[in-house]
Amino acid sequence: MELLQTAFMLVLVGVLVASVVSVGIMALMQIARTRRLAREAETLGMRFAAEDPSDLPRRYADFTLINHGHSPQASNVMFGRVLGRRVRAFDFRCELGHGPRRVTRHYDVVVVETDSSLPESILWHHGDEEYAPLPVRGDERIGDGFTRGDEAVARLLEGHEALSGTGKSVQVCGTALMLFAPEVSRKEGYTRRIREAVALADGLDPPPEGGPAGEA
């Protein structure tokens, strides 16, 4: 009996040590990601905040990604102008489900502000179907995604080269366009999606003649 108790205690200690190490590694990865994104923001001429400075879940509450889960949180926020457009990019996390079925989801998000009120439309990539809101899953399919809202806008978005690749979804709501995708690696980030989001916005709301005002 004493041998079993000793073995049990060793297992518990091993689990505790593994948990502490795992949490430490995740914290170090988060610090490294934040530092890397801050450097990339400086390169782009944008501002950066590790913590959400303007309550982005509330600001973008009308977007499906933001409002279909609970406990939404934005972090590592990059903001400024890129190719003449006002841009916010950030890490987003939310929780879906309850109890033993609760799961935490992480997304890379880029929002581009336009000068026009655009027809509302969403194109949710089928690769993220398991975590798509139920109303979206029941909607029409176009290409690689489920769509709801203005079909002409959805088809224009679907055919854009900026949506090539795995898992990218897009929604147009009011005067803003949101490009988002599940975060696949803490070593990567949303920076690579900024120009894609701006290109999508330009396709719906062309910049004034003469081209964009330039990068900030």
Report how far residue 168's alpha carbon sits from residue 194's, in angstroms, rounded to the nearest whole number.
12
pLDDT value for 23: 39
Report how far residue 198's alpha carbon sits from residue 191's, in angstroms, rounded to the nearest whole number.
12
Helix runs in the chain, H state only: 2-44, 56-59, 64-67, 134-137, 151-158, 191-204
Per-residue pLDDT of the chain (216 residues; tens, 9 = 90+): 666 666 656 656 565 554 544 434 444 555 778 889 899 999 999 999 999 999 999 999 999 999 988 899 999 999 999 999 999 999 999 998 877 788 999 999 999 999 889 899 999 988 888 888 877 776 677 877 888 889 889 888 888 888 877 689 999 999 999 999 998 765 567 888 999 999 999 999 887 554 444 343
pLDDT value for 90: 96
pTM of the model: 0.81
Q: Is 113 exposed, middle or buried (0-12, 13-18, 19+ CB in 10 A)?
A: middle
Residue 61: inside a domain: yes
Q: Is 122 exposed, middle or buried (0-12, 13-18, 19+ CB in 10 A)?
A: buried
Residue 18: inside a domain: yes
Residue 75: inside a domain: yes
pLDDT value for 85: 94
pLDDT value for 188: 64
In total, how many domains does the chain have?
A: 1
pLDDT value for 101: 80
Residue 215: inside a domain: no
Residue 44: inside a domain: yes
pLDDT value for 164: 77
What range defines the domain where residue 56 resides?
2-204
Which tokens sit at 53? 């400075």
Torsion angles phi and psi, residue 45, rounded to 5: 75, 25
A 10 A CB-CB count for 131 gives 17
Residue 216: inside a domain: no
**Count of H-run helices and E-run strands, the chain:** 6, 9
Which one-letter DSSP state was computed for residue 76?
E
Closest CA relative to residue 96, chosen from 107, 87, 85, 88: 107
Residue 148: inside a domain: yes
Residue 121: inside a domain: yes
